[in-house]
Structure 1
Amino acid sequence: MTKDNLSLIRSGQWMNGFAKEFAVALGICEEQCFKLNSLPPSHSEERNQIIRNIMGNIGEHFTIHSPFHCDFGTNIHIGENFISNFNLTILDEADVTIGNNVFIGPDCRLCTVIHALKATQRNSGVMRARPITIGNDVWIAAGVTVLPGVNIGDGAVIGAGSVVTKDIPPHTLAAGNPCHIIREITDEDKVDIIS
């Protein structure tokens, strides 16, 4: 994809998402995701190399369970000690930035793309994208959908099945559809470990 088209798709402007160049880039990434998802977990070095080829950048230590799917991959930026469970989908038409020590449960979706509401425009490919940012030390539980333009603050926990439509502040527990703040996470939430 040319730098101009990459800038346009990340700009948040309404544009034609059906351009041939986008289709080619989507196809290349889909091939890479297919290769990744076809490999057994025991082929960790080969799997990790494919992940590094797909992503814009990713930390040294990570675990991504298959299946994993994304649109372009190059717009995904992930820090250290990332763990995603089965069936993570990232629609990365805009940047998706994920901090350090982030856990993502199974069946989660991070969606940056917005299609036009008017059917004639949507059917002709009119769309735009807005970035998603997930801070450090975040846990996103099973079955969560994060929508375009959302920022999740450091240390936040998103409850299972939530649809995150608005920013979530740091160090809060949030859940629901739409996701809302339940309470602050404090030192009182520390659990005792059985040795």
Structure 2
Amino acid sequence: MGNDSTLSSVHGLRVGHNVSIGQRTVIEVDGAIGDYCLIGRGVQIVGRVDHSIDEVGIPMAFSTWVGDRPAVPQDAVQIGSDVWIGGGVIILGGVTIGEGAVLGAGAVVTHDIEPYGIAVGNPARVIRKRFDSDAQRHAHSTALRVDSSDVSDKG
């Protein structure tokens, strides 16, 4: 994990094997990060309902906080294996990033990204697929299931 990075979760976060987290990255959500993920510098993976905004007469600073209530789906981010998250990306809670996806630098991810999609922009949108065919995507997915010790020996 890079210098000055933060990794925390109120209700639970699973981080897979061979995950690289860049400097000054903040990950403060529930959910899961798959194996072989590359997370660039200055990435923020944060909740979108950390404080209630609809409690009449209560300032948001004093409203119900995510840690004072049961988990809801919007608290979690699910990141598949072999995902590359470019520098400065922001991912909001309640999002699933499919296996093998690539998120271009500075993207703001507010909705799910399909497996092997390459997404850019604000809000992030898929501009193409990482591999040309379903057969290639399937072969790559199958190769990812290899024991991590076998894959790390290839590099």
Which of 23, 28, 31 aligns to 1:86? It is: 23
Which of 162, 170, 188 aligns to 2:115? It is: 170
Task: Give secondary structure in 1 for the equivalent of 2:60.
Answer: helix
Distance apart, 1:76 and its partner CA: 2.1
> Which residue matches 1:116?
52
Q: Are 1:91 and 1:113, in contact at CA under 8 Å, matched by a contact in 2?
A: no
CA RMSD of aligned residues (A): 2.1
State how far apart, in whole Å, the 1-side matches of 2:61 and 2:3 are.
Answer: 31
State how far apart, in whole Å, the 1-side matches of 2:53 and 2:107 are.
Answer: 23
Distance apart, 1:187 and its partner CA: 4.8
The structure number with the bigger radius of gyration is 1
Which of 92, 96, 106 aligns to 2:31? It is: 96
Change (3 A) 1:135 1:174: same
User: Does residue 139 of structure 1 match 2:75?
Assistant: no
User: Does residue 151 of structure 1 match 2:96?
Assistant: yes
Q: Are 1:113 and 1:130, in contact at CA under 8 Å, matched by a contact in 2?
A: yes
Aligned residues: 123
Matches for 1:58-77 after TM superposition, within 5 Å: 64-72=1-9, 75-77=12-14
Task: Give secondary structure in 2 for the equivalent of 1:126.
Answer: coil
Q: Are 1:152 and 1:169, in contact at CA under 8 Å, matched by a contact in 2?
A: yes
State how far apart, in whole Å, the 2-side matches of 1:82 and 1:125 are.
Answer: 35
Unaligned runs of 5+ in 1: 1-63, 189-195
Change (3 A) 1:71 1:98: closer
> Which residue matches 2:143?
none
TM-score by length of 1: 0.57
Per-residue deviation, residues 11-51 of structure 1 (Å, max 9, x unmatched): xxxxxxxxxxxxxxxxxxxxxxxxxxxxxxxxxxxxxxxxx
Unaligned runs of 5+ in 2: 67-73, 134-155
Identity %: 33
State how far apart, in whole Å, the 2-side matches of 1:83 and 1:71 are.
Answer: 16
Q: Are 2:53 and 2:63, in contact at CA under 8 Å, matched by a contact in 1?
A: no
2:108 alignment partner AA = V
Q: Are 1:116 and 1:122, in contact at CA under 8 Å, matched by a contact in 2?
A: yes
User: Does residue 130 of structure 1 match 2:75?
Assistant: yes
TM-score by length of 2: 0.71
Matches for 1:30-45 after TM superposition, within 5 Å: none
Change (3 A) 1:123 1:74: closer
Per-residue deviation, residues 54-87 of structure 1 (Å, max 9, x unmatched): xxxxxxxxxx111111344772211111001101
Give 1 or 2: higher helix fraction. 1
